[in-house]
Structure 1
Amino acid sequence: MRITQGAFSFLPDLTDQQIAAQIDYCLGKGWAVNIEFTDDPHPRNTYWEMWGHPMFDIKDAAGVMLELQACRKAYGDRYIRLSAFDASHGWESIRLSFIVNRPKSEDGFMLEREEGAGRRIRYRTRAYATDRPEGARYD
């Protein structure tokens, strides 16, 4: 099951050249770029681990790509995403976010159904990967 989060998630994985073009676009807009990683890509898990610091002062995609390669070297078995933050007044939020690295095998999610009083039905998702301990989820 392919995790579909962020922009470009229904497209084939972007090449490094395509990622660099997106970074150039973000930097051209004046957005700060950051890199994050996780081994729990649940849709409600918005708190991914940040790789380094947000790159507010980088003007060239090559600097971001160096950081991305370092993150891939350390956490290539996890999900890595790139986000672009617009700090301008009135926006002050993420403008673009997309996955730039995936584990070789994506386990997907289980949909759990719970029936309650009054015919109420609740659903929740649980990642199959969380059955294994953190750091060993995509071995």
Structure 2
Amino acid sequence: MRITQGCFSYLPDLTDEQISAQVEYCLSRGWAVGLEYTDDPHPRNTYWDMWGHPMFDLNDPKGAMMELDDCRKAHGDSYIRINAFDSSRGFETVMMSFIVNRPKEEPKLHMIRTDARSRSQNYSWDVVRR
């Protein structure tokens, strides 16, 4: 099962050239770029580990690509995503987020449906690892 979170997640994996083009787009809009990684891709896990600091004064996508390379070396079998933040309103707003690295074998999410009172149903998720 392919985890689909953020922009471009239904497309084939982006190449480094395509990632660089997206980072360049983010920088052209004045957005700061940051990298995050995790081993837990659960949809409710919104707290991924941050790699380094957000790159607020970055002008060239090569800086973000160098950080991405370093993150891949350290966490190559994890999910890595790039977030773009807009601070023009005085607070950070995520404008774009997309996965740029996946583990070789992605864990599968198993949905559990439980029938509750009054014909309602509750859903929970369980991560199945091999």
TM superposition score category, shorter chain reference? over 0.9
Q: Does 1:72 align with 2:69?
A: no
Aligned counterpart, 2:3: 3
Q: Aligned to 1:81, what secondary structure does the other structure show?
A: strand
Number of aligned residue pairs: give it.
130
In 2, Cα distance between equivalents of 1:91 and 1:2: 32
Q: Aligned to 1:96, what secondary structure does the other structure show?
A: strand
- The alignment yields a C-alpha RMSD, in angstroms, of 1.4
Identity across the alignment (%): 59
Structure 2 unaligned segments of length 5 or more: list them: none
After superposition, where does 1:1-139 map in structure 2 within 5 Å?
1-89=1-89, 92-129=92-129
The offset of 1:10, in angstroms, is 0.5
Structure 1 unaligned segments of length 5 or more: list them: 130-137
The offset of 1:126, in angstroms, is 1.9
**Cα deviations across residues 70-127 of structure 1 (Å, max 9, x unaligned)?**
0000000000000000001177310000000000011220001112222221011122
Q: Aligned to 1:94, what secondary structure does the other structure show?
A: strand
TM-score, L = length of structure 2 = 0.95
In 2, Cα distance between equivalents of 1:90 and 1:52: 22
Moved over 6 A (4+): none
In 1, Cα distance between equivalents of 2:67 and 2:116: 48
The offset of 1:8, in angstroms, is 0.4
In 2, Cα distance between equivalents of 1:2 and 1:106: 7
The offset of 1:36, in angstroms, is 0.1
In 2, Cα distance between equivalents of 1:90 and 1:106: 37
TM-score, L = length of structure 1 = 0.89
Q: Aligned to 1:80, what secondary structure does the other structure show?
A: strand
